Amino acid sequence: MTATEFGQALRRWRDRVAPGTAGLPVGGQRRAAGLRREELALLAGISVDYVTRLEQGRAVNPSAQVVEALARALRLSAQERAYLFRLAGLVPPGPETVPAYLTPSVQRLLDRLVGVPVGVYDAAWTLLLANPLYAALMGDPSGRRGFERNGVWRNFLGSGSRVRQTPEERREFEALLVADLRTTVARYPADRQLRRLVNELRAHSERFAELWDTGVVGTNPGGHKTIEHPQVGPLTLDCDILAVTGSDLRIMVYTAEPGTEDAERLALLDVVGTQSLVG
């Protein structure tokens, strides 16, 4: 397969995705009903220039992560996704790798979860998809690349999150993250990207290495969280983590108790989105 065929497939599938179904604004003059290049780039978390070069056949050998992100943004079926991988000269991910595919039924479910922050993670806690309200609540993830999109990496080596924690809560949370990741590594021992993540964490975080060497396994249960938002202030929300049978995805949903100040702040955040409230 050639780079031109890959680009033609991207353009063809981009044209059939209506912006509204992807959670994007529909207003304004549009020459086509489908996604613009910049919209596909935003949904996939890659640059507009790279999308352009892929479509024009000037970029070759996209990584598996890029192809997976494009397939997700384009809402491809399982067969179309496998075809896109082969057009890129790659073997479609098998059962030995951490699943990152959102089925059409899961995508439809997410489309209906409006008014609540929703983020979709894989079994290694890499963020695959965030709706606009989740991005507004937890920080816009569209500019993050590679391990920056991984929750474990961000908590041990990155900037962390907006969740308020006491030192004791922080230690307990770190232990849960590492135990959960170890469980995933045991389930997908042949996943090279997962191994690279663990090796980087062990090499650069003494705390992670210490916890990893304990050998503890477990899962992250979610729970009650207080998010320190820079504009609307603190929000205390319920965080539920929903498992998708057969795909190992984690759907993280934040909700507020009706009639509370937290619910009012969440509603305000839904209106203003990621734009600044200052000025």
pLDDT in tens, 57-95: 998 889 998 999 999 999 999 999 999 999 999 999 988
Q: Average the pLDDT over each of 30-34, 78-82, 155-159, 164-168 and give the range with the smallest value.
A: 30-34
Whether 101 and 68 have beta carbons less than 8 Å apart is answered as yes
Confidence of residue 11 (pLDDT cuts 50, 70, 90): very high
- Cα–Cα distances in Å, from 179 out to 21, 114, 183, 253? 36, 32, 6, 21
Q: Is the pLDDT of residue 119 over 90?
A: yes
- Which one is predicted more confidently, 120 or 143? 120
Helix axes 64-73, 37-44, angle to 10 degrees: 120
Domains, the chain, in order of start with CATH, read: 3-87 (1.10.260.40), 104-272 (3.30.450.180)
User: Rounded to two decimals, what is the model's pTM?
Assistant: 0.86
Confidence of residue 275 (pLDDT cuts 50, 70, 90): low
Q: Cβ(122)–Cβ(64) under 8 Å?
A: no
Rounded to the nearest 5 degrees, what angle is found at the Cα of 21, between the Cα atoms of 89 and 136?
A: 95
Q: Examine the pLDDT at 274 and tell me if it is beyond 70.
A: no
CA neighbours closer than 13 Å in the CB half-sphere of residue 212: 21
Which residues, listed in sequence order, are joined to residue 149 by a DSSP beta bridge? none
Task: Using pLDDT thresholds of 50, 70 and 90, give the confidence band for residue 8.
Answer: very high
* Percent of the chain whose pLDDT exceeds 90: 66
Residues linked to residue 17 through DSSP beta bridges, in sequence order: none
pLDDT of residue 193 exceeding 90 = yes
